[in-house]
Amino acid sequence: MSIAAKFEIEYLQYLDAEGKQVRDDLPAFAKDLDHMVELYKLMLSTRVFDAKSVALQRTGKLGTYASCLGHEAAHVGIGSAMKPEDVLAVSYREYGAQLYRGVQPREVYMYWGGDERGNDYQNGAARHDFAWSVPIATQCLHAAGTALAFKIRNEKRVAVCTIGDGGSSKGDFYGAINIAGAQNLPMVAVIVNNQWAISVPRKIQSGAPTLAQKGIAAGLFCIQVDGNDIIAVRKAMEDALERARNGEGGSVLELVTYRLSDHTTADDARRYRGEQEVKDAWAKEPMKRLRNWLVSKKVWDDKKEEAWKAECDEWMDNEVNAYLQTKTQPVTAMFDYTFAEVPADLAKQRDLALSLDKKAH
């Protein structure tokens, strides 16, 4: 029998669970220890932000919130590899990537607090990124369309989308990677495989040995990466972005990590996963391994850690206060940004809402 084609999926890792190097060919950025310290500081900032966010929700000052605990290396690795002119289309928990690109915590809080103005990012590269996408996998199609526009305009830019392990089973994801391969689009699709699609485990989500290989059928470059190793994530992202920017096609990256938190603050993961599984995942978490590596290089220590945490606390206090002090929009705002000309039925609803609001005040 003749063979039509053969495929294999490479696995990339530089740091093991204890922060020890498992290969010597460090990429150039990882040899810049000052830069690696900055990446660690952003990972730590993201974790402080996340803890504050959960506390805000638990005290009734924020709506349902999707935690990013355990995803810090994956998310910061994605954001730090991108260029400012690239475009990011996220789902709803990639805060580390967004913070790197200029999104402010107060904007995150406005969004989860029910204020759409949080999607109007004001700073840096984030100004042309997409808003959060709660409908599963639709952001992948947004990225594919953006990548097509880049190709038509002959712009050296790349569209990046992120999706979870569960979301990679959606038709939107498959449609996006299929058109990316068929049209040779500058798109990078990143599957952040955190092992759980709410209560559905990875083992019954797909029969494929890897999720990365889903891109093979689309004709894309595919790789599986240790998603708790920021050096591996950043390296895989840099390579994928460079290929896309040079017209060499798109990629599917699978970042293998673990969701250390509940799916959202409306979830209780204790109902469907065991305590030992979570305990084992904590032993592989991303912060510890990078910290250990930096300590071994003598560029980080407990004193620096505590000092940075204090700065993070002050930063977050300012962001929380800015969010809590933001004036609410008028009740009519919910009607004002969908249609150029408000239909008659919505105009009646708007007038009724306005009259009820006036009576309430």
Amino acid at 14: Y
Q: Tens of pLDDT along 48-65?
A: 999 999 999 999 999 999
Q: In which band, very low, low, confident or very high, does the pLDDT at 74 lie, cut at 50, 70 and 90?
A: very high
The per-residue pLDDT for 332 is: 87
On average, the pLDDT of the chain sits at 96
Report the pLDDT averaged over residues 256-263: 98
Could you list the residue range(s) of the whole structural domain that residue 198 is in? 10-328
Task: With respect to residue 5, please indicate whether it lies within any of the assigned structural domains.
Answer: no
Distance CA 259, CA 197 (A): 10
In the three-class reduction of DSSP (H, G, I as helix; E, B as strand; rest coil), residue 69 is classed as coil
Helical packing angle, 286-296 and 72-81, nearest 10°: 70
The per-residue pLDDT for 278 is: 98
Q: What angle do CA 248, 249, 252 make, to 5 degrees?
A: 130
Q: Say yes or no: 313 and 267 in one domain.
A: yes
Q: Say yes or no: 339 and 323 in one domain.
A: no
- The partner residues of 255 in beta bridges, in order of sequence, read 192, 225
Active site residue 259: yes
Task: With respect to residue 44, please indicate whether it lies within any of the assigned structural domains.
Answer: yes
Backbone angles phi, psi at 107, to 5 degrees: -70, -40
The per-residue pLDDT for 53 is: 98
Cβ neighbours around 332 below 10 Å, total? 13
Q: Say yes or no: 317 and 340 in one domain.
A: no
Nearest to 97 by CA among 46, 137, 163, 50: 46
The per-residue pLDDT for 359 is: 86
Percentage of the chain with pLDDT > 90?
94
Distance CA 345, CA 15 (A): 59
Q: Say yes or no: 68 and 171 in one domain.
A: yes
Cβ neighbours around 283 below 10 Å, total? 9
Active site residue 263: yes
Q: In which band, very low, low, confident or very high, does the pLDDT at 345 lie, cut at 50, 70 and 90?
A: very high
Percentage of the chain with pLDDT > 70?
100
Q: Say yes or no: 144 and 278 in one domain.
A: yes
Q: Tens of pLDDT along 190-208?
A: 999 999 999 999 999 999 9
Cβ neighbours around 138 below 10 Å, total? 19
The per-residue pLDDT for 271 is: 97
Q: What angle do CA 270, 273, 279 make, to 5 degrees?
A: 90
- Write down the catalytic residue from 23, 58, 117, 272: 272
Q: In which band, very low, low, confident or very high, does the pLDDT at 338 lie, cut at 50, 70 and 90?
A: confident
Q: Say yes or no: 342 and 248 in one domain.
A: no
Amino acid at 329: Q
Is the pLDDT at 361 greater than 80, yes or no?
Answer: no
Q: Say yes or no: 343 and 297 in one domain.
A: no
Q: Tens of pLDDT along 273-320?
A: 999 999 999 999 999 999 999 999 999 999 999 999 999 999 999 999
- Write down the catalytic residue from 263, 289, 291, 323: 263
Q: Say yes or no: 346 and 310 in one domain.
A: no
Distance CA 198, CA 170 (A): 15
Nearest to 255 by CA among 44, 68, 7, 13: 13
Report the pLDDT averaged over residues 141-157: 98
The alpha carbons of the chain give a radius of gyration, in whole angstroms, of 21
C-alpha pair distances (Å), 269 with each of 36, 66, 200, 273:
33, 13, 11, 6
- Write down the catalytic residue from 93, 243, 259, 289: 259
Cβ neighbours around 178 below 10 Å, total? 17
Active site residue 234: no
